[in-house]
Amino acid sequence: MVEEKESVVKTPGLGSRLIQTKEKPQSIIHIDNEQEPRIETTLLELNRVLGGGVVPGSLILVGGDPGIGKSTLLLQTSHALASQGLTVLYISGEESVRQTRLRADRLGALTEKLYVLCETNMDQISDAIESLEPDFLVIDSIQTVYDPSVSSAPGSVSQVRECTAHFMRVAKVKGIATVLVGHVTKEGAIAGPRLLEHMVDCVLYFEGERHHSYRLLRAVKNRFGSTNEIGIFEMGELGLREVSNPSELFLSERPLGVSGSTVVASMEGTRPVLVELQALVATTNFPSPRRMSTGIDHNRMSLIIAVLEKRMGMFLQTQDAYLNVAGGVKLDEPAVDLAAAVSIASSFRDAPTRPFDVVFGEIGLTGEVRAVSRAEQRVKEAHKLGFKRVIMPTKSLKGWSPPAGIEIIGVETVAEALSAALG
C-alpha cells in the first residue's frame, strides 16, 4: 500500500478576484478628508475604545485569555448591531450553532438579523459571505479556520497568515467590518505570527482576572482612534455590563486609616481613574530582600525604592517590599510613582495616610517630583468623588484653576510629598 496525496488545485475564488483593483495614484491634497463613517453600538465602552464606533471595512483583532469573555462580548456586540437593522454573520469554529444559540438565549441576544454559522473551511465561509453579504462579520476564532489550498494544519503560521489576508481583502473591498478572535499564548500575547497584528486595523486585548468580575478592554493598535483608551465591563449572569464610573468600583473596598494605602489618579486614555495602591514592607528572612509588584512594572518599583533609600535615608535593604494595585488593574504611566513612594514609606514607617488624599506625580532619580499631563482632569475626578486634598507636582499647577472645596498641595521633591502625606 502506497499513500498518495491528492493535489488540490484551487480555482480562482473570491480572494484572487478581490486583489484586482483599478485604483490610480492621487495627489494627497486632492483626497477627500471626510471622517470615516462609524457604526455606533449600544456598548458605549466599546465605542470609546474603538474611537467612536465600528468603521465599515475595518479589520479588528480581539485577543484574551480563555474564558475571559471574548465570545460573550462579540455576541452582545453582534446583537446590538443586528438590532439596528444591520446584517450580522457570526461564524464559530469552536462551538456548534446550538451552543451559540444557548449562549445568545442566556444573554438575551436573539435577533432576526443575527446569522450563525459553524464552519472552519475558508471556501465555505467565502460562499456564505457572498450569499449573505453581511455588514458585520465575526470569526471566532482565526486559529480554527483553514484554507484547503494550504497543506499545513489549522492554527499554523501559514494558515493563520493566509486566512487573515483573505479576510482583510474581503473587509476592504466589500466594506464589511470584520472582527477576528485570536488565541493568546501563556505570556498573554496573541498566538501566531506577529504579522497578524500588522495586517489588521485595530488590536484589542480583553483583560481581567478570573477571580474578579470586571474586565478591561484595551486598544494597543488603532488606525481609527486613540490607543490609550480602555473600556471597563463587569461580568454578570446576563453577560457583560458597562461600568460608567470605574473609580467608585476600584475604591469600593478600600480600608481607611491603614498604613501602606494610597489613592492615585491615573489617566487611562482621556479618562481619569482613581485606583488604590497598597504597599507592604516587612523584615526579610533572606540574605537578599524580595521585591514583588502586581499591576506596576517591577523595574519601576525597584527604582522608587532606590530613590527612597538614597534620598530619604530609608534603610530598606533588610526589608521585603510588596506593591499591589487593588482590583487587578495595570498602571503603566509615570504619574503613579509618587503614590507608590508614599505607600512604601507609609508601610515602612507604619504611619497611616489620610483617607481623603489623592497623590500623583513622576519621580526623578535625584528625588525631584516632575510634572505630569492632564493634571486638571485628575483633580476634577478626585473632587467629584469627595476627596479633600491632592498632593501633586508644583509644575503641573500652571495654566488652570482648581475647583473650590479641594486643597491642592504642590510639591517639588519626594521629601516634601512624604512630609505632606505622612506628617
Binding-site members for ATP are 64-71
CA 264, distance to chain mean position in Å, is 19
User: What is the Cα gyration radius of the chain?
Assistant: 26
SS3 176: coil
CA 149, distance to chain mean position in Å, is 35
Name residue, grid cell 481613574.
273
Q: Which helix (H) or strand (E) holds 169?
A: helix 157-174
The cell for 118 is: 459553524
Contact partners, residue 282, CB within 8 Å, separation at least 6:
319, 320
The cell for 303 is: 527604582
SS3 274: strand
Which residues define the annotated binding site?
Answer: 64-71
Q: How many residues does the chain have?
A: 423
Residue 214 carries which side chain, given as an amino acid letter?
Y
Residue 176 carries which side chain, given as an amino acid letter?
I
The cell for 288 is: 537578599
Task: Please measure the distance between the N-terminal and C-terminal CA atoms of the chain and give it in whole angstroms.
Answer: 87
Contact partners, residue 296, CB within 8 Å, separation at least 6:
277, 323, 325, 330, 331, 332, 336, 340
Q: Which of 273, 263, 163, 282 is nearest to 214 (CA)?
A: 273
Name residue, grid cell 492632564.
374
Report how far residue 50's alpha carbon sits from residue 230's, in angstroms, rounded to the nearest whole number. Answer: 9
DSSP state of 5: P
Strands 357-359 and 319-325, bridge-based pairing: unpaired
Report how far residue 74's alpha carbon sits from residue 56's, in angstroms, rounded to the nearest whole number. Answer: 16
